[in-house]
Structure 1
Amino acid sequence: MGKGRLEAFSDGVIAILITIMVLELKVPHGTDLAALRPLVPIFLSYLLSFIYLGIYWNNHHHLLQAVRQVNGRILWANLHLLFWLSLIPFVTGWMGENFAPVPVACYGAVLLLSASAYFILTRILIAYHGQDSTLAIAMGRDVKGKLSLGFYAIAILFALINPLIACAMYILVAAMWLIPDRRIEKTLTS
């Protein structure tokens, strides 16, 4: 079956998630810049999550450009990814309102499970299209994906000791993925 509906549905879900997050930003009651000070942690958690959702949207787009069609297993794997992404607004709000070990660790857990779901989706797509497919060649050993999973797991542990270190690690992983996955672009153009 074609991949168009999967792409459109995924795009729609990610757009809704971003909308939910921005609607959680509350307008301050004061009229001076000092009224914004309590919103700084909330805005920073929103910014990080917006970047993460943008990364997933962008890389999901590139991922699907490298495949021809999908099947039922791929649809379910994609829903698995969307499930974990759908929890990002919740953990974003919790972490922004309560910058403490457990909310920061839960934020990391959602990032870890989202990355795991993305990894599973790529493996199912490769299994369906074959080891000699454009996607399989582009993904290679997926060192960046595996490193990300490790960083998230370590960051979750650090969150329980020092949430700032955990957030620095979340930012580090986001920086690794900020540029769309060039492996797929290079493979598609060659």
Structure 2
Amino acid sequence: MQRVEAFSDGVIAIIITIMVLELHAPEEPGLIHLLPLWPVFLAYVLSFAYVAVYWVNHHRLFHHAARITNALLWSNIALLFALSLVPFATAHLGEQEFTREATLLYMSIMLLPSFAYTWLQRVIRATGSQERAAREYHRRTIRKGVAATIVYVAGLPLTLVSPWLGLGCAAVVAVFWFLPRSRLDDLFAR
């Protein structure tokens, strides 16, 4: 189990590294030359938060894994593949300064890890720990994951209205997962 987690940690670290390498400092001196970079930086911040949420939840999820199965390995690889597309979508979004098309691509790519994580979680739920704490964890996080996926899906048509509405959906999902235990978690606990 530790090898799978270590491999996943390494891939996620590389994903974050690739994203930060897309931040190019201006050649001209002075802070004023940083201002045109705000779209690239904002796209990076949103994507960093997004990848961080997956890393934290991946760690928590693997706490409940009991054994390595073929399904666990492939669902984990699917998640890593989906996350590996985030640097491309992030760079495109920032360089295109949040155009409708770039935001649609970004939001579509944000959906892929959501689906892959759902598959991974279902595998671990079926083959992992069956203790009460594990069952409770899965119950809460599956509901929260479904809600997050719905918000991402809603972000696609909202992007057609305004790219900022679509990105707002992505930001809501990130904040939703960042929050410590909140009323939202209580809502999903029922």
Q: Do both proteins adopt the same fold according to a TM-score greater than 0.5, normalized to the shorter chain? A: yes
Partner of 1:177: 177
Residues 3-60 of structure 1 deviation map (CA, whole Å, 9 limit, x = unaligned)? 1111000000000000001111111021112101110010010011111111111110
**Residue type at the aligned position of 1:138:** Y
Offset at residue 179 of structure 1 (A): 4.0
Give the match for residue 153 of structure 1. Answer: 153
In structure 2, stretches of 5+ residues that fail to align are 183-190
Aligned residue for 2:107? 108
- Which residue of structure 1 aligns with residue 122 of structure 2? 123
Asked if the contact 1:25/1:43 (under 8 Å) is kept, the reply is yes
Distance apart, 1:130 and its partner CA? 6.7
Quick check: 1:59–1:180 contact (8 Å CA) kept in 2? no
AA in 2 matched with 1:47: V
Number of aligned positions between the proteins: 180
SS of corresponding position for 1:90: helix
User: 1:87 matched to which residue of 2?
Assistant: 85
The whole-number CA distance in structure 1 between the counterparts of 2:56 and 2:30 is: 37
CA RMSD, Structure 1 to Structure 2 (Å): 1.7
Q: In structure 1, what residue type is equivalent to 2:40?
A: I
Decide whether aligned partners of structure 1 residues 81 and 181 sit closer, same or farther in structure 2, where only a CA change above 3 A counts.
farther
1:154, 1:43 → 2: CA distance? Answer: 24
Counterparts of 2:106 and 2:135, CA distance in 1:
30
CA distance, structure 2, for counterparts of residue 5 and residue 181 of structure 1 = 30
State the distance in 2 between where 1:180 and 1:53 align.
17
Amino acid at match of 1:97: E
Deviation, structure 1 residue 169: 1.1
Listed as ranges, the gaps of 5+ residues in structure 1 are 183-190
Match of 2:20 in 1: 22
CA distance in 2, matches of 1:84, 1:136: 26
1:186 is aligned to: none
Return closer, same or farther for 1:128/1:140 CA change in 2, 3 Å cut-off.
same
Give 1:160 deviation, angstroms: 2.0
Alpha-carbon distance in structure 2 between the residues aligned to 1:86 and 1:75: 16
Give the Å deviation of 1:138. 1.6
- Whether 1:45 and 2:43 are equivalent positions in the alignment is yes
How many percent identity over aligned positions?
40
* Contact preservation (8 Å) 1:62, 1:180: no
Question: 2: distance between equivalents of 1:7 and 1:131?
Answer: 20
1:11 partner letter:
D
Distance 1:130 1:18, change over 3 A: closer
Q: CA shift at 1:126, angstroms?
A: 1.1
Cα separation, 1, equivalents of 2:166 and 2:25:
28
Counterparts of 1:180 and 1:59 in 2: how far apart (Å)? 13
- CA deviation after TM superposition for structure 1 residue 132, in Å: 5.5
CA distance in 2, matches of 1:114, 1:174: 13
1:131, distance to aligned residue in structure 2 (A): 5.8
Work out the CA distance in 1 between the residues paired with 2:8 and 2:71: 15
Hey, what's the Cα distance between the residues in 1 that align with 2:82 and 2:159? Answer: 19
Structure 1 residue 161, shift from structure 2 partner: 2.0
